[in-house]
Amino acid sequence: MLDFYTEIFSWLTYSLREKFPNIFTTKSDTAAPPKFPAASIVQKNNAVYQRTRDLQMENHINVLFEINIYTNDVNTKEEQAWEIATEIADLMQSIGFNRTVCEPVPNLVDMSIYRITMRFTGIVGKDRIVYQQ
């Protein structure tokens, strides 16, 4: 099975910390992260891309990442969240992923937390290149 989740998570975490040194990242869904700002980066789907599968091997996978951004600064939480979202969109698109969702959602567990949900899809080859559908 092809799986590049850890590789993409590590790269995205490293890249985000260059611009936001205190950002907390996690591979788990959460409603209330332990630190702010935060981003949960979760691979929600990893399916064989059937068009390029041969008899013995997967050559490509169709993946979906869901990324939730959390901020709680009293005065700038919306602006900070959107700045992080813009950076994530730029980073994911720079390696070929397509953004399919980007929207603020109520964080029902704690309404003082501003939250944005983003989803990215892509077909990743065993050569680690992301291809457009």
Confidence of residue 59 (pLDDT cuts 50, 70, 90): confident
- Enter the CATH code of domain 5-131: 3.30.70.1700
pLDDT at 51: 62
Residue 133 has pLDDT above 80, yes or no: no
> CA nearest 5: which of 35, 30, 25, 21?
25
pLDDT in tens, 28-56: 999 899 999 999 999 999 988 766 666 66
Q: Is this structure's pTM higher than 0.85?
A: yes
Determine which helix (DSSP H) or strand (DSSP E) holds 6, and give its type and residue range. Answer: helix 5-19
C-alpha distances in Å from residue 9, one per residue of 92, 102, 122? 11, 19, 15
Domain ranges of the chain: 5-131
